[in-house]
Structure 1
């Protein structure tokens, strides 16, 4: 934001106080205004506003997670998708040596936007990572959660063979990367009553890695206008454990809303561009026309509720994602791979339609120049499956801090 002078009303909104409070602060010297030479109205300079914590947050100048790398760090990313995690890590300062993805449309997206990246399309089982041994600093990936068969198995490294987690572990073993980052759905914590995650941690331990306590990060705390949650798993070689530790990125106080995603403001310097998008069938559109911004199926007339919900009307649970219209002043609900399916509607606040492709991308904090390849449904799928870019960037800074600490430790041993 280039603006340097702000009106009384704008400053009150930035600092979340009323105008009378600002007048008192002015008189007491806590926050001095300047006078507009034309009308003598109170105005405030950006550098004075950012003395206050809320001012720093508003202007993104209190980027408390930001850290610079002390050397270039290289990564390999598996299950790269459309590049949300990779782009966020790149913004943080991490360089990608290799990205692997099996979906041809996602690969087309990656190549379209980053032709300089080394992108290998195909089944991960066909890739040998041994040539990267001791040549990368970080292995990342969001492997799909797969159940293991527990009966009669000791569940070590070899016993997970045939799962995509095994391929992630194999890549870790072959590269000997000092640090890894894995991300997954929150449900992995409770999958098979926690046994699946416990098995994964045991395997990683067997390979010589300490796994820090996995944590669910809420994207809304990391400059993402969406109520999305991801399970983050970070680990490093055990040899560094006595002198190096890891901290997850600190959350930000400010929560961004749908308005921040789709309108000109702090997150984007222009309104969202028009793009293709799905449409509702006529009857569904007529029903959703009745739902107010921020509302859902319970805001419909009773007879319409029964028509729309059918058997689900008589079952328990709130089902708050059904017939859901997002309001401008709230974050979006978690985006799915299809914006119009009945269980997870994400209707535009003003127009009765699903979010368009570019709106979807904005909510995931992709830049407007990040182009998605494939059919419309393929584009929705790629965006819906992605890690929000801003969340990935904040995680990236925490990884760089960890790698910096490891590098300092290694250097100290040679002094």
Structure 2
């Protein structure tokens, strides 16, 4: 096949005019050369531009990556997003045979960076045989790891918390059922802290006078998942992990559940850093360590009315450092509301890790402003903080790129997961850090969680018995 095509063929592929293709060639957005008066377009460059710009729709396709799979542990990824977790798992020595992602921009990103990885769309459209076929596996192949973090909004404390009564919660159940049917050695579930307390059923305030049900217990959604795991013979361990403890220059907390087919409870992840050097580990990485020496910055802008306040603030400050009259002016009605409101007019500190990256760095209540410059963090800085390689291509608009990276699992956290599971598979002794504070919250491990849930369940049952006696 020729490596070049005509302007006319390129316009047909992109569904734009020939003149627009010529303009893209002149701007250097598509690699092309001029022979006489005729442009010829590099086919590979055209394909890359089509993915980046969204002109090419990515269809499902099988894996081509067979040689590496024979040499490395096999992993399948679901809800892959921009592949932050996947990159960490890869670094640990796994071969990602399949990615499954419904979001269009994320699919474009996966196709750009991992064209040899099988790519599927909506998880609801596939059964176990479809997964095996796409990954070029058979029912006799032993899958080492299946991993995924379903959409978190169904469990987030900031949302309506509809759990599995939400479509996003339903795909969580689909993921669990699909993974357990494929019987991997290890299964990883990643989600937000809200999963630990989310009820199966969250009544609206006008329904609260009705009889309380077991489905309304805090954590009953997670309890359903754990019951499924037990039914299929999987053990599990989990905790709430701050990514800063694993080398990420960001304080981002996520629940990681590690499930084992051999019924042996996995130890906790092995930290590589600690906040103040506890356990003789290096201190947390700071923002200053990661966003230096970036040649180009693509970023959103703050509204002019907010910029005047930023010009007064320095690194590590927020609205509270303004004079009182300016605080009232800047915050408006929010000034009189409760809560810390630390995300308003927030300049990041050079000497601390970044706070959790959100999907939009210029929203009023969750500002992520550069420590010195009068702008939000750029997408290039987002990538550094989440530990994506500088050459990792992101498809879609700038807003979509922020969303992809903001939703990702930091690479170092993924690496910690991958290393632990690889060592468990290979029988390598795991170093355990007793009483290590993995997050700012306490009692978030499976041991503490189960104890608290059982106490809550017992209290509910006793209350229910009392109600029965009263009614008699």
Q: Does TM, scored on the shorter chain, surpass 0.5?
A: yes
Distance 1:195 1:347 in 2: 38
Aligned-partner Cα distance in 1 for 2:140–2:190: 23
| Of 416, 435, 440, the match for 1:394 | 416
SS across alignment from 1:262: coil
CA distance in 1, matches of 2:168, 2:82: 26
Alignment of 1:3-402 (within 5 A): 72-120=72-120, 122-130=121-129, 131=132, 132=137, 133-135=139-141, 136-145=143-152, 163-192=170-199, 193-212=218-237, 214-237=238-261, 240-241=262-263, 245-252=266-273, 253-254=281-282, 255-263=284-292, 271-402=293-424
Task: Report the Cα offset of residue 318 of structure 1.
Answer: 1.2
Please give the secondary structure, in 1, of the residue aligned with 2:85.
Answer: helix
User: Separation in 1 of the partners of 2:364 and 2:88?
Assistant: 31
Measure, in 1, the Cα distance between the counterparts of 2:397 and 2:168.
34
Larger RCO (CA within 8 A; separation ≥ 6): 1
CA displacement, residues 204-251 of structure 1 (integer Å, 9 cap, x when unaligned): 212221112x111111111111111111000011xx235x74342234
* Contact 1:183 1:233 (C-alpha < 8 Å) held by counterparts: yes
Q: How many angstroms apart in 2 are the aligned matches of 1:108 and 1:355?
A: 23
Give the secondary structure class of the aligned counterpart of 2:219.
Answer: helix
Retained in 2: the 8 A contact 1:258–1:329?
A: yes
Verify the 8 A CA contact 1:293 1:327 in the aligned structure 2: yes
Cα shift at 1:161:
11
Displacement of 1:71: 6.7
Deviations 1:251-304 (A, max 9, x none): 4232111111112xxxxxxx1231311001111111121122101110112122
Unpaired runs of 5+ residues, structure 2, are 1-69, 156-163, 200-217, 274-280, 429-472
Q: Which sits farther off after the overlay, 388-397 or 308-317?
A: 308-317
Q: 1:405 to 1:286 in 2, by over 3 A?
A: same
Retained in 1: the 8 A contact 2:260–2:266? no
- Cα gap change, 1:162 to 1:142, in 2 (>3 Å): closer
**What is the root-mean-square deviation of aligned Cα atoms in Å?**
2.3
1:163 aligns to what SS in structure 2? Answer: helix
Unaligned runs of 5+ in 1: 1-69, 149-156, 264-270, 407-415
For residue 144 of structure 1, report the CA deviation from its aligned partner: 2.2
How far does residue 324 in structure 1 lie from its aligned partner after superposition?
0.5
Native 8 Å contact 1:273 1:358 kept in 2: no
132-141 or 82-91: bigger deviation: 132-141
Distance 1:147 1:360 in 2: 25
Question: Could you tell me which residue of structure 2 aligns to residue 51 of structure 1?
Answer: none
Deviation, structure 1 residue 329:
1.1
- Give the Å deviation of 1:333: 0.7
